[in-house]
Structure 1
Amino acid sequence: MKHLEPQHVCGQGTERNLPPNSSVEVELQVKDHVATVISTLNYQNKEDKPIEALFVFPLPGDAAVCHFSADIGQTHIVAELKEKQQAREEYDDALSSGQQAFLLEESEQSPDIFSLSVGSLPPGESASIMLQYVIELAVEADGALRFCLPAVLNPRYQPQGPGVPVSSVPASEIPYSLSFSARVSSPRPVSKVESSCSLEPLQYLNTDHTEAAVKLAAGHKFDRDVELLIYYKDAHQPSAVVEAGQDSAKPGTLMGDPVVMVSLYPEFPESVMSKRASCGEFVFLVDRSGSMQCPTNNWNQQETRISSARDTLLLLLKSLPMGCYFNIYGFGSRYDHIFPKSVEYSEKSMEEALKKVEVMQADLGGTEILQPLQHIYSQPCISNQPRQLFVFTDGEVGNTKEVLDLVRKNAGSHRCFSFGIGEGASSALINGLAQEGRGHAQFITGSDRMQAKVMQSLKFALQPVVKDISVTWDLPKGVSATVLSPPITTIFQGQRSLVYAQLSGKSSQTDCSVTVNYTLGDHPYESKQQFNLNPAKDTGLTVHRLAARILIRSLESEERENRGKSNEDMKRKVVELSVQSGVSSHHTAFIAVNKDNGDAVQGPLVRRNVPTPGSPMMAMCSAPVGAAVPEQPRRDPLLQLVSLQKASGCWLLDAALASVLGKTSEEVEKSKPAEVSSEVWATILALIWLHGFKMDAKDEWELLAVKAASWVQAQNAPCVKECVDAANALLGYKVQKDALGL
């Protein structure tokens, strides 16, 4: 039997009509900012012939998959991790001799897609398959830790070349049921847990609220990602965990030595942070493939991903500093740009760009991101204007590794901020773009507003750049640290930096520290974390496995960079480390063979490609290429007000502004203090309206309000306080002058 690659499968052809009887049970254990996920798939062969079932499913791209086992009847088989080709051959041999076997492997194209082959299941037989992985949880802008269980495997767009994209099946055709429970423990109290799905009430398991449990409410259809946001009190405290090595492993090896995981939150003094950058080249790369016509979420069919992207670009363009440079690219099977090269930001260039943004549609076909990136990188950088790339995509890309390699090669010349839009965006692509491009990643799902998350990233892009980052260890004599993580290349305010190191040697002294030194706004700073060599209790081998995953991924990318050079040697290193640590890699696969199942399974095997829960929208929401999509009139008064702002930051006193403020032109004119120019009056009115009426969306308009306040100050206008009082009286608010930044 020839082994199929994962992308050839999953719910194609007539087999769609043979849904399995399957259930998925997921148990999540969160310790501080690290999660262990135990996922069990129960599957029964309801046919009258023996079958081989093939599942394709998504996992987070940065997960360390570390255990795989199966139960058939009374037999429990634990899989072994072996070199991939050897594992495939053992699987095929087992099937041809009538034995039951299981094979789990990572896709060639992207580390966030796995395929599972379940072989020789006799009629009526059930199998229960358990998979375990560990993962670090990302920090959101509001301090939450984000866990996402991907349910949706969108079809990945494969640029020319072999391989059929994985097809997605409407969830209604798949009778999967999901039970999901989470247990959270931390040194700090758990303040709340939120989700895009319905949860049962949070239960505290102890009096100081440092342990809590939560379950998904009954009746959840596994048709979208399950996102959990975990909030701790005093969330972001630096910490260090030392984990003892494995007794059975040799000292000196990764698994035999202790490993320390240090999480740091460097301080950003307010005096430095108030100085936002007023320069930069901002390049916005927007996905305009057909799938961007899908609704952003399942319950608001009106708002499409592309309309949300248009509103976001409006806010971004209004928030850019005068004197910077910018350009906007759209990409699908082909790409286009608004200007031949980045242009200086002015009223004229901003207006020209906005006209084109307003008519932007999801009409460019597939998701081919490599060529526009190559074109952007081929443009010379502008001196004293650091390049900041913003990538918006629903992440349905097949050649993820190639894209990330390109970003890594160009990491020295730019920073990359990435946004995964909608369910099923590839975590390997979105997180990878930000990691390789020294930027920041955001996922926009459920009821999230894209605008708030994107403006958070723009604030990061405008933050003073942290330079000269170095990490030093202070360890007792006789103990040394080998750093396993790639060097820290970027630090943002409120974000965590993680460092893993292998500790070798012994000492009676146990006090240690690690210090990160860095330069910010031409001043040196340091962030220090003390820790103790005594190992933490009950960590399993979580820290070792996360460290192994980091090492495996960096070896794999080194191998791709050195194609042709000593590749066998690199591959051998990856296989050795993967097998030793029990963490899967590109070159290994988990294989389990049931050697004691008595009688061989008789008769020819029927192959079944089992559809995984796919996005229910995919089948119906791709608009035909070139089709004009009727636009909903823009009703959001905030976006109306923003669209009237000039590039310099001011507003003009006209009927359109009066209408957004809910007043007539006469009322607005009549209330203006005599000695003030109409632009200053209009701008103060707009600022008062934003602070009085739209505080809940402050994340979205904060930067353009700062720009407006700076413009007012630059006018040296008389009677600003009288203006503020008159504007408050007209609009019925009580906003203080200081709150406006005047």
Structure 2
Amino acid sequence: MMMNCCGLLTANKEPVPLKSVEVELEVRAHVATVVSTLNYENKEDKPLEAVFVFPLPGDAAVCHFSAKIGQTEIVAEVKEKQKAREEYDDALSSGQQAFLLEESDQSPDIFSLSVGSLRPGESASIRLEYVTELAVQADEGLRFCLPAVLNPRYQPQGSGGSGGSNVQMTSVPASLVPYSLSFSARVSSPRPVSKVESNCPLDALQYLNTEQTQATVKLAAGHKFDRDVELLIYYKDAHQPTAVVEAGQASAKPGTLMGDPVVMLSLYPEFPQAVMSSVTSCGEFVFLLDRSGSMDGARIKSARDTLLLLLKSLPMGCYFNIYSFGSSYEHIFPKSVEYSQKTMEEALKKVEEMQANLGGTEILMPLKHIYSQPCIPSQPRQLFVFTDGEVCNTKEVINLVMKNSGSHRCFSFGIGEGASSALINGLAKEGGGHAQFITGTDRMQPKVMQSLRFALQPAVVDISVKWDLPKGVSVTALSPPITALFQGQRSLVYGQLTGKSSEAAEGCVTVKYSLAGHPSQNQVHFSLTPAEDTGLLVHRLAARTLIRSLEMEERERGREQEEGVKKKVVELSVQSGVSSAFTAFIAVNKGDGEVIQGNLVRRNVPTPRMMACRMPMMAMANSFPSCPPGMMACSMGRSVRSCPPVSESCLPKQPPRDPLLQLVSLQKASGCWVLDPALAAALGKTSEEVEKSKPASVNQEVWATILALIWLHGFKMDAQEEWELLAMKAVSWLRAQNAPCVTECVEAGNALLGFNVQKDALGL
């Protein structure tokens, strides 16, 4: 595998033919259609071939690709990948214009677009359409992300444009990106849209009807495409299960996926309260932290703070270990250890020292090592992966997680701009866990603690989906079997409906499962009458789901069966017009027959890049010819050894620690706090004040623990989701002490700290 450098372009950089990008987003409930128009112009005096490598959401289904040159529009067809590449090369060599769009062989969220032969002075407008499901976030918002940043990844040979070997990813600092972006969204839903938020400035939300179920929103003018555009869409009462039936395509044969109606169900399981309150107190918690160079600065600090909260929130009696990786990997303990005061302190000491100094992003080896460790009886394994997600071998990594999905649940966190959605969502989906994205100024802690709450839920087992349909109608499931259910988290299920029924017929789906030994079920009834005017949105998403399942299956099979599965994927992809790993979109302009004269010049169109880019040092030195050797290494989070020595006095002072983390860091593994000067300081009091206010008959640890709980409830209610689990642990510890005078303690604690927190609010 070669590493293609994403070298920064110099001041006299090659001209870029991409002029502007326009994006229109249409959201219907929790699925979206995205139309992107890329406008090119060749300002050079020779014909150009432009190659543009760009990211799309990992589960997007590209379903339309066309190019307009002058007044001529050519619509691309989906063909087997090798055939499409040959057709593209043939067209170029015979002087015709051609366009090729293909998914990377290594990662399903990277596409390359080859624009073949733009004549000098000529413009081309390329229209790309894709459909995608929107993931539900911990706070119930639906997340859409338009990736602007394609962080450099290892680019393997043989996955490129013409001939396939030389797709280079050039990337430039965002301030130099020479094209503009316009972005608008239209949202419609059966339930009112309560708000739309973004990490980029938006114009005000405009409602289109009095029920507020339809709205439009636009990106404010002047947006520099310097980061992902993230939209979070919130509906009122989002937790209702829904079903949409979409009519088949009139021109397709009945009995085929595109010819039959398809139903999309969104399920929101609600678990019995009795089961939910009995949080599990066992498990093997394995934390895997990315310490590659691009995690430097705020990212690694936030990860360290998060590990502190996680370690304090773990239940007594569980097991844990912490791995970290870059080009190599390290672990704190040779194998997972029982959680105790001693092991927790040892781990925290090592966490404090962690820096982003381990080089590249090689996640496969540590994962293999974790899976090679035998599981601990009656301690279900829960894996937490933190990464900024810039790996080339996405499919290989996800495959490994899938192979081991029977022995663990995997919770994944994409940190910062450009984290691969294919990697982060794939890890969680195949590992039966939950994925979260942490971008911009988001605090990592609330999202991670939400996932820990999921990990502490008892695992749902024996999940089955049963369809009840009228006589004469049968269903083919198009989604892989559901492997994970979490309280209030959506699961999507697609089914192809074959046969005819009476007009007002109804169907019903029952999801049965067992939770902590209790059999449970949820039901959804739905009308078989197709919805108005959904286009082929549901069919394309269903085709994409089936294509992805088959691709996973193909990687599991032997050579003979592999060919059969591949053939099935190609047929399905061509029939549905949806992209896959084995097909590509090809468009050839057979127009006026005028042959393009002159040698083709190949240009790689740079994608914007955040400064924390990872590349070999040789390439870095070439990119910064004026930079003294060793200086660059410093600013890019590389080994500090090559930096000139810095005197102590000019090192930045450590910022004071966040008061919440200060208090949390003093909690013992058992859940209690100890009465000492450090606790008094964290509470903002002197040791004398704290000692003097203690009721006489109360032991010191009970008093210290009650004070800490009052401080959390009084000062930090806005961050409750971050400390809720460790507070529950403190309350359990207090109950186990059977301490007298709890009421007196709470009153004295309120008087000392100046609050009025009720005893039952503390859970005592």
TM-score (norm 2): 0.93
Q: Are 1:101 and 1:593, in contact at CA under 8 Å, matched by a contact in 2?
A: yes
Q: Secondary structure at the match of 1:257?
A: coil
Distance 1:34 1:648 in 2: 45
**1:149 to 2:163 alignment:** no
Q: Are 1:414 and 1:437, in contact at CA under 8 Å, matched by a contact in 2?
A: yes
Aligned to 1:95: 92
**1:340 to 2:334 alignment:** yes
Distance 1:172 1:355 in 2: 40
Among residues 219, 222, 230, which one is paired with 1:219 in the alignment? 222
**1:457 to 2:476 alignment:** no
Q: Are 1:20 and 1:174, in contact at CA under 8 Å, matched by a contact in 2?
A: no
How far the C-alpha of 1:167 sits from its partner, in A, is: 4.7
Aligned to 2:491: 497
Distance 1:631 1:592 in 2: 59
Q: Secondary structure at the match of 2:171?
A: coil
Aligned to 1:133: 130
**1:23 to 2:20 alignment:** yes
Among residues 423, 426, 432, which one is paired with 1:429 in the alignment? 423
Distance 1:214 1:39 in 2: 16
Q: Secondary structure at the match of 2:210?
A: coil
Q: Are 1:276 and 1:462, in contact at CA under 8 Å, matched by a contact in 2?
A: yes
The Cα offsets for residues 59-107 of structure 1, whole Å up to 9 and x where unpaired, read as 0010011000111111111111101111111111111111111100000
- With over 3 angstroms needed to count, the CA separation of the structure-2 counterparts of 1:165 and 1:440, relative to structure 1, is farther
How far the C-alpha of 1:403 sits from its partner, in A, is: 0.6
Q: Are 1:204 and 1:212, in contact at CA under 8 Å, matched by a contact in 2?
A: yes
Letter in 1 for 2:124: A
Q: Are 2:27 and 2:186, in contact at CA under 8 Å, matched by a contact in 1?
A: yes
Q: Secondary structure at the match of 2:560?
A: coil
**1:539 to 2:514 alignment:** no
Aligned to 2:637: 623
Aligned to 2:76: 79
**1:640 to 2:662 alignment:** yes
The Cα offsets for residues 538-570 of structure 1, whole Å up to 9 and x where unpaired, read as 111011101101111111111111142332222
Deviates more, 1:134-143 or 1:156-165: 156-165
- With over 3 angstroms needed to count, the CA separation of the structure-2 counterparts of 1:276 and 1:160, relative to structure 1, is farther
Q: Are 1:39 and 1:132, in contact at CA under 8 Å, matched by a contact in 2?
A: yes
Q: Are 1:10 and 1:54, in contact at CA under 8 Å, matched by a contact in 2?
A: no
Letter in 2 for 1:526: Q
**1:556 to 2:551 alignment:** yes
**1:609 to 2:631 alignment:** no
- With over 3 angstroms needed to count, the CA separation of the structure-2 counterparts of 1:591 and 1:503, relative to structure 1, is same
Distance 1:164 1:204 in 2: 44
Q: Are 1:157 and 1:368, in contact at CA under 8 Å, matched by a contact in 2?
A: no
Aligned to 2:466: 472
How far the C-alpha of 1:616 sits from its partner, in A, is: 3.7
Letter in 1 for 2:522: S
How far the C-alpha of 1:6 sits from its partner, in A, is: 12
**1:488 to 2:482 alignment:** yes
Q: Are 1:12 and 1:609, in contact at CA under 8 Å, matched by a contact in 2?
A: no
**1:722 to 2:744 alignment:** yes
Q: Which structure 1 segments of 5+ residues have no match?
A: 296-303
**1:42 to 2:16 alignment:** no
- With over 3 angstroms needed to count, the CA separation of the structure-2 counterparts of 1:411 and 1:630, relative to structure 1, is farther
- With over 3 angstroms needed to count, the CA separation of the structure-2 counterparts of 1:329 and 1:169, relative to structure 1, is same
Distance 2:428 2:347 in 1: 26
CA RMSD of aligned residues (A): 1.9
Q: Are 1:223 and 1:613, in contact at CA under 8 Å, matched by a contact in 2?
A: yes
Among residues 693, 701, 716, which one is paired with 1:671 in the alignment? 693
Among residues 248, 253, 260, which one is paired with 1:245 in the alignment? 248
Mapping for residues 404-419 of structure 1, pairs under 5 Å: 404-419=398-413
Aligned to 2:440: 446
Q: Are 1:223 and 1:616, in contact at CA under 8 Å, matched by a contact in 2?
A: no
The Cα offsets for residues 251-282 of structure 1, whole Å up to 9 and x where unpaired, read as 11100111000111111122111110100000
Mapping for residues 584-599 of structure 1, pairs under 5 Å: 584-599=579-594
Distance 1:27 1:495 in 2: 28
Letter in 2 for 1:331: F
Q: Secondary structure at the match of 2:316?
A: coil
Letter in 2 for 1:515: T
Letter in 1 for 2:422: A
Distance 1:158 1:125 in 2: 31
Letter in 1 for 2:151: N
Q: Are 1:7 and 1:166, in contact at CA under 8 Å, matched by a contact in 2?
A: no
Deviates more, 1:611-620 or 1:89-98: 611-620
Aligned to 1:58: 55
Q: Secondary structure at the match of 1:488?
A: coil
Q: Are 1:158 and 1:399, in contact at CA under 8 Å, matched by a contact in 2?
A: no
Displaced runs of 4 or more, over 6 A: 9-15, 158-165, 628-631
Among residues 394, 399, 402, which one is paired with 2:393 in the alignment? 399
Distance 2:3 2:120 in 1: 27
Distance 1:578 1:158 in 2: 25
| Corresponding residue pairs, total | 729
Q: Are 1:7 and 1:165, in contact at CA under 8 Å, matched by a contact in 2?
A: no
How far the C-alpha of 1:630 sits from its partner, in A, is: 6.8
Letter in 1 for 2:442: D
Aligned to 1:368: 362
Aligned to 2:619: none
Q: Are 1:281 and 1:325, in contact at CA under 8 Å, matched by a contact in 2?
A: yes
Among residues 345, 365, 381, which one is paired with 1:351 in the alignment? 345
Letter in 2 for 1:705: A
Distance 2:17 2:157 in 1: 33
Distance 1:266 1:566 in 2: 36
Distance 2:6 2:470 in 1: 55
Aligned to 2:508: 513
How far the C-alpha of 1:534 sits from its partner, in A, is: 0.6
The Cα offsets for residues 580-614 of structure 1, whole Å up to 9 and x where unpaired, read as 00000011000111111442111101110110122
Aligned to 2:617: none
Aligned to 2:618: none
- With over 3 angstroms needed to count, the CA separation of the structure-2 counterparts of 1:411 and 1:597, relative to structure 1, is same
Aligned to 1:265: 268
How far the C-alpha of 1:424 sits from its partner, in A, is: 0.1
Q: Secondary structure at the match of 1:306?
A: helix
Q: Secondary structure at the match of 1:77?
A: strand
Aligned to 1:300: none
Among residues 514, 520, 525, which one is paired with 2:520 in the alignment? 525
Q: Are 2:181 and 2:225, in contact at CA under 8 Å, matched by a contact in 1?
A: yes
Among residues 97, 105, 119, which one is paired with 2:116 in the alignment? 119
- With over 3 angstroms needed to count, the CA separation of the structure-2 counterparts of 1:86 and 1:165, relative to structure 1, is closer
How far the C-alpha of 1:622 sits from its partner, in A, is: 2.3
Distance 1:356 1:156 in 2: 29
Aligned to 1:654: 676
Q: Secondary structure at the match of 1:738?
A: coil
Distance 1:276 1:124 in 2: 66
Deviates more, 1:19-28 or 1:726-735: 19-28
Distance 1:289 1:157 in 2: 14
Letter in 1 for 2:236: K
How far the C-alpha of 1:21 sits from its partner, in A, is: 4.9
- With over 3 angstroms needed to count, the CA separation of the structure-2 counterparts of 1:374 and 1:158, relative to structure 1, is farther
How far the C-alpha of 1:166 sits from its partner, in A, is: 3.6
The Cα offsets for residues 386-422 of structure 1, whole Å up to 9 and x where unpaired, read as 0000000000110011111110000000000000000
Among residues 279, 285, 290, which one is paired with 1:287 in the alignment? 290
Distance 2:205 2:556 in 1: 47
TM-score (norm 1): 0.96
Letter in 2 for 1:548: A
**1:318 to 2:323 alignment:** no
The Cα offsets for residues 485-529 of structure 1, whole Å up to 9 and x where unpaired, read as 000111001100111000001111511110101112222111110
Distance 2:684 2:168 in 1: 51
How far the C-alpha of 1:160 sits from its partner, in A, is: 11
Letter in 1 for 2:463: I
How far the C-alpha of 1:377 sits from its partner, in A, is: 0.4
How far the C-alpha of 1:625 sits from its partner, in A, is: 2.5
- With over 3 angstroms needed to count, the CA separation of the structure-2 counterparts of 1:457 and 1:192, relative to structure 1, is same
Letter in 1 for 2:743: K
Q: Are 2:17 and 2:50, in contact at CA under 8 Å, matched by a contact in 1?
A: no
How far the C-alpha of 1:157 sits from its partner, in A, is: 4.1
